[in-house]
Homo-oligomer: A and B are copies of this chain.
Amino acid sequence: MENIIRISYLGPEGTFTEEALLQYAELLYGKKKGLQGEPLIEKMAITTIPEVIKSVDRGEALQGIIPIENSIEGSVNLTQDILTFESEVKIIAEVTIPIRHYLIAKPGTKIKQIKKIISHPHATAQCRIYLKTNFPECEIIAANSTAEAVKKIVSQDSASAAIGTKISAELYGLEIIAGDIEDNKENKTRFVIIGNHIAPRTGHDKTSIVCFLKKDKPGSLFNILKEFAERNINLTRLESRPAKKDLGDYVFMIDMDGHLHDKIIYDAIESLRNKVYLVKILGSYPTWQNK
């Protein structure tokens, strides 16, 4: 019998993070269920990114899932900062999903009836052209998440619609009035799954690290990258961020192709340790393939 894995996620129910969690679950188990037909994952909704991360640090959940790049429901910087400065969890997997917005209302609502549109400010911003074209006169009302917006529709009259996810419309028995209403069809969010271990090597992996630098002197970043260039290691993402004062002046966040257990990756990181104040391994994990 399989053990049920408890996974915390940035809630409430019906957010993009839950959608990413469902994709991850399918990757792990497909249609497989427990002996009694029970799901093999127990989902635990948590309202803030720091608390999702800490639920794994405290062992209340075995794994957690949070947005890390280009999300509309959580701050990317917040995820990176908590992983860097305030937690010992590791990234064990990643999931990237397209951000598709839906206009959701009570069943039977006609477009011309709609006078108010509720959503998270970032979601309404991402559907700006659609709203301007189709609902130039509508009042735009803010919600704390797209899921909260959709939930509110249940108690409103048919003059209201929400912008939210497909799964949230299903969750509350509401109707999708219009789909794919986002202005930018290329918009995607990358989520990371966190746990307490380094994920095993699969042969198509990524490694994420943070380098802490004591002094922001010319060439310091160049010297870091030299270790990777000399070994022909491909960097997939790089970002500099200010550090907390007592931990140096700058941190560089680097994603690279390869696993920590690949000799060249391990060697590059070992050489790096002599050049910088501190290297922190955020994790090695399989590259998301469903792109």
What is the CA–CA distance of A48 and B128 in the complex, to the nearest angstrom? 9
Per-position contact with B for A242-286: 1 when CB-CB < 8 Å, else 0? 001100000010000000000000000000000000000000000
Determine whether A186 belongs to the interface, using a CB cutoff of 8 Å to chain B. yes
What is the CA–CA distance of A282 and B77 in the complex, to the nearest angstrom? 23
Q: Which of A212-252 contact B (CB under 8 A)?
A: 216-219, 221-223, 225-226, 228-229, 232-240, 244-245, 252
Determine whether A158 belongs to the interface, using a CB cutoff of 8 Å to chain B. no
Partner-binding segment picked from A37-45, A87-95, A105-113, A118-126: A118-126
Q: Which of the residues B75, B145, B186, B239 comes within 8 Å of A240, measured between beta carbons?
A: B239
- Is A239 touching B238 in the complex (CB atoms < 8 A)? yes
Determine whether A142 belongs to the interface, using a CB cutoff of 8 Å to chain B. yes
Name the residue on B nearest A50 (C-beta): B128
Name the residue on B nearest A145 (C-beta): B121
- Is B144 touching A124 in the complex (CB atoms < 8 A)? yes
Q: Which of the residues B144, B232, B233, B238 comes within 8 Å of A121, measured between beta carbons?
A: B144
Name the residue on B nearest A51 (C-beta): B128
- Is A219 touching B232 in the complex (CB atoms < 8 A)? yes
Determine whether A13 belongs to the interface, using a CB cutoff of 8 Å to chain B. no
Name the residue on B nearest A223 (C-beta): B229
What is the CA–CA distance of A77 and B234 in the complex, to the nearest angstrom? 24
CB-CB under 8 A for A229 and B240, given A48-B125, A125-B75, A143-B142: no
Chain A residues close to B by CB (< 8 Å): 48, 70, 75, 77-78, 120-122, 124-125, 128, 140, 142-145, 148, 186, 216-219, 221-223, 225-226, 228-229, 232-240, 244-245, 252
**26 A-B pairs in the complex with CB atoms less than 8 angstroms apart:** A70-B77, A75-B125, A120-B121, A121-B142, A121-B145, A140-B144, A142-B142, A142-B148, A186-B244, A186-B245, A216-B236, A217-B234, A218-B228, A218-B229, A218-B232, A218-B233, A219-B228, A219-B229, A222-B226, A222-B229, A223-B229, A225-B225, A237-B240, A238-B240, A239-B239, A239-B240
